[in-house]
Amino acid sequence: MFHLGWFGTTGPVNWLAPAGAVYDWRKPEIFQDVAKLCERAKMDFVMFADSVAIPALFQGSTDYYVRNGFMIYHDPVPTCAWMAAATQRIGLASTLSCTFYPPYLLARMLGTMDHLSGGRMAWNVVTSTKGGENFGMEMPEHDERYDMADEHLELCRQLWDSWSPDAVIMDRENKIFADPAKVKTVNFKGQHFQCRGPLNVVSSPQRHPIIIMAGTSPRGQQFAVRNADMVIAHKNSVADMKSYSHQLRQKAAEAGRDPKSLKIFYAIKPVMGDTPAEAEEKWQRHLASGDVDLGLADLSNTLMYDMSQFDLDKPLPKDLKVQGIVGKLLQYTQSQGHLTLREIAKHESLKETFPMHGTPEQIADILEHAWREGGADGFHFRQMFQDYGYLVDIATKLVPVLQKRGLVRKEYSGTMLRDHLFEF
Ligand SMILES: Cc1cc2nc3c(=O)[nH]c(=O)nc-3n(C[C@H](O)[C@H](O)[C@H](O)COP(=O)(O)O)c2cc1C
């Protein structure tokens, strides 16, 4: 069987939709309703993207992003707490940047969240390409951010382990809450972080939250192999999935890890209709909705470079150097170097990586093939959160087909996210 996750945001992503067509993003009910629906579909987890800055990249200011309600997010951690309160099984994953959060506060917050959710918390670790301006700091270079992240994770693990799971004894007779012999100081002295410890949150149900990682650069893969329980990647084809799955599992084995201990998810965004004709019509409507300015603003943000300064009808300069996600730039200067910036921007605004459309049965065929051939452990639906109708279609039309074919679970067998993720 394969696993399913849901990827959303906490911001006003589709505020332009006609009133009544989608939930008002400011009404918190949507978050609990989405979590409940994903739980009813027996997905492993819901995950939130995040960023801690409105960029000033496209056209050199924050104006485009503010005017369009882009890159504006509620904090995902309290949102996950709010969703945990309304559910019992679904895992909850929050993106948090280890470039900005001090390790002690982050370990404490996620330890608390793991308690509040009964062992359902996950952390999508990002190192961030931007946001230093909000913290009075210069952004470290790409690989240095990952060096800091390795150290950050090491310290977080030591803090989560500073309480042995049997340290709390609550011995009323002798008035002993916890056994000091089972609570360690950590005395961590790294290059970037120092911390005495122990944590003032006791050992949580999962001990460590599930660690998710979505970077795919060579340094990002090294980080994942060392720290992650799960990786999420965008790949354009089943062949690309196959080679990435193979590469990552090989790296895990070389690092002395059981490759099965690292779950690989691929992001998908199926466009579904009840009939092939309806799916085709929705797909054509989707393709026509590509928006050049939105794509340019998004790409400026991803690459950390103002895309408004280039000619829309020419390809990007081959020698362009950026500080953002280099893999994305190479996609458009090398393998798809023939595309004009206008075409690139339209493509980016649609956020299509592994395009698929069809009836629920046709989508199930595509996923089954991608799972068997591509070496995926699971798939991650990458739709915008507020499109509740889309989630209803996935949960009530696609998931039942997958369940009937025995491809996804019909019931949870455990209570914690770690149980779900390592059930098969
Ligand atoms: C599915 C997916 C979700 C991501 N979500 C976020 C996010 O919410 N916030 C963020 O700052 N970066 C996010 N990223 C970016 C990655 O975490 C990572 O920083 C980026 O891919 C660059 O890493 P790399 O240079 O190792 O490839 C996401 C990437 C993927 C593939």
* DSSP-based three-state secondary structure for 358: strand
Q: In the chain, how many H helices and how many E strands?
A: 15, 14
Output the ligand 1 site: residues, CB below 6 A. Answer: 49-51, 95, 126-128, 214-217, 220, 232-234, 267, 325, 327
Architecture of domain 3-269+353-421: Alpha-Beta Barrel (3.20)
Parse the chain into domains and list their residue ranges.
Answer: 3-269+353-421, 286-350
Specify the pairing of strand 91-97 against strand 121-126. parallel
Cα-to-centroid distance, 125 and ligand 1 (Å): 9
Angle between helix 218-227 and helix 142-160 axes, rounded to 10 deg? 10
Atom 29 in ligand 1: residue holding the nearest Cα: 214
Question: Which parts of the chain register pLDDT below 50?
Answer: none
| Strand extents, DSSP E, 285-348 | none
User: What distance in Å separates the CA atoms of residue 231 and residue 227, rounded to the nearest whole number?
Assistant: 10
Query: Which atom of ligand 1 lies nearest, measured to the CA of 219?
Result: 26
Instruction: Give, for ligand 1, the residue of 47, 70, 99, 124 to mutate: max count of ligand atoms closer than 8 Å to Cβ.
Output: 124
Per-residue DSSP letters for 222-289?
A: HHHHHH-SEEEE--SSHHHHHHHHHHHHHHHHHTT--GGGSEEEEEE--EE-SSHHHHHHHHHHHHHT
Q: What is the reported pLDDT for 385?
A: 63
Query: Which atom of ligand 1 lies nearest, measured to the CA of 97?
Result: 11
User: What distance in Å separates the CA atoms of residue 224 and residue 219, rounded to the nearest whole number?
Assistant: 9
Over residues 339-361, the pLDDT tens digits come to 999 999 998 988 888 999 999 99
User: What distance in Å separates the CA atoms of residue 235 and residue 228, rounded to the nearest whole number?
Assistant: 19
Q: What is the reported pLDDT for 20?
A: 62
Over residues 36-71, the pLDDT tens digits come to 999 999 999 999 999 999 999 899 999 999 999 888
Q: What is the reported pLDDT for 193?
A: 98
Q: What is the reported pLDDT for 178?
A: 98
